[in-house]
Amino acid sequence: MFIVAGRILGHSFLHGGPCMSGVSSAVVHVLLGGSPETATVTLEDCPDLDIRETISLKRSPNSDLDKIRVQDLANAWDLPFLTENNRRWLYEKLLIHAVLLQRITWPCEDDDEDDDYSSDTKCCMSGYLRQFITNAAPTELTNLVKFWTGWEIIPASLSVEVVNGSYPTASTCFDTLRISGHYKDYTSFKNDILGCISTCQTQFGLV
């Protein structure tokens, strides 16, 4: 897939094509030598055009209707009311939800006799992961995505499984994050997920 993508870009350059058209600005930043840690998610990275338009209204809502649209989206994702003081913070949180959280396929709540844990446990672990993503620093989110997928670019979809195990693991070939269902509190979950994703720089097999 990397070779195919590289050939597409290379041929586009060689034949006077649109070059980087359609490629995320964060991806372009890295391709041109920039550090992944300094690449930021932009509004254009959001694949849902309706959500993108609503988030863009947060920058400068021109009417009460605009503010209602932004607030409805924030309410849907359990984010606070829009104020003058939290405008920038809320903008970044809405982007994280739109670009990352909305791409995740969460564990099914229906019980299956082959599942390791009940639907209540799955919901609890999913809640811990949502909380971590919502409050994580940009570097932590970058490490999470790299641990999850093998690189810093977010794929079209991400999967989460709740399994029997000691620590979070990932199947990068299938973009699947596997979380153990044994956690009883968020602090323990956060400590383990931070420890695991920090190993993403040591290459595969060295976790």
Hey, what are 13's tokens?
């350059």
Residues 24-51: tens digit of each pLDDT: 766 677 767 777 667 666 776 776 677 7
Q: Three-state SS for 164?
A: coil
Q: What is the mean pLDDT of residues 60-75?
A: 69
Q: Residue 178: what pLDDT? A: 92
Nearest to 101 by CA among 136, 68, 150: 136
pLDDT for residue 186 is more than 90: yes
pLDDT at 196 over 70: yes
Q: 94, 92, 44: which is closest to 69 by C-alpha?
A: 94
pLDDT exceeds cutoff 70 at 194? yes
Q: How far apart are CA 56 and CA 14, in angstroms?
A: 35
Paired tokens of 1: 């897939």
Please list, residue by residue across 74-89, b when 16 or more beta carbons sit within 10 angstroms of its beta carbon and e when fewer do: beeeebeebeeeeeee
Position 20 scores a pLDDT of 62
Is the pLDDT at 100 greater than 50? The verdict is yes
Whether the pTM exceeds 0.85: the reply is no
Higher pLDDT among residues 193 and 156, named by residue: 193
Superfamily (CATH H level) for 105-202: Hect, E3 ligase catalytic domain (3.30.2410.10)
* Ranges in the chain annotated CATH 3.30.2410.10: 105-202
In 50-175, the DSSP E strands lie at 104-105, 158-163, 169-171
Torsion angles phi and psi, residue 107, rounded to 5: -55, 140
Q: What is the pLDDT of residues 114-132, one digit of tens each?
A: 567 788 888 899 999 988 9
Summarize the confidence of residues 8-20 as an average pLDDT.
72
Convert the pLDDT of each residue in 128-169 to its tens digit: 998 898 888 888 888 898 889 888 777 778 899 998 888 999
With 60 as the cut, is the pLDDT of residue 58 above it? no
Three-state DSSP class for 176? strand
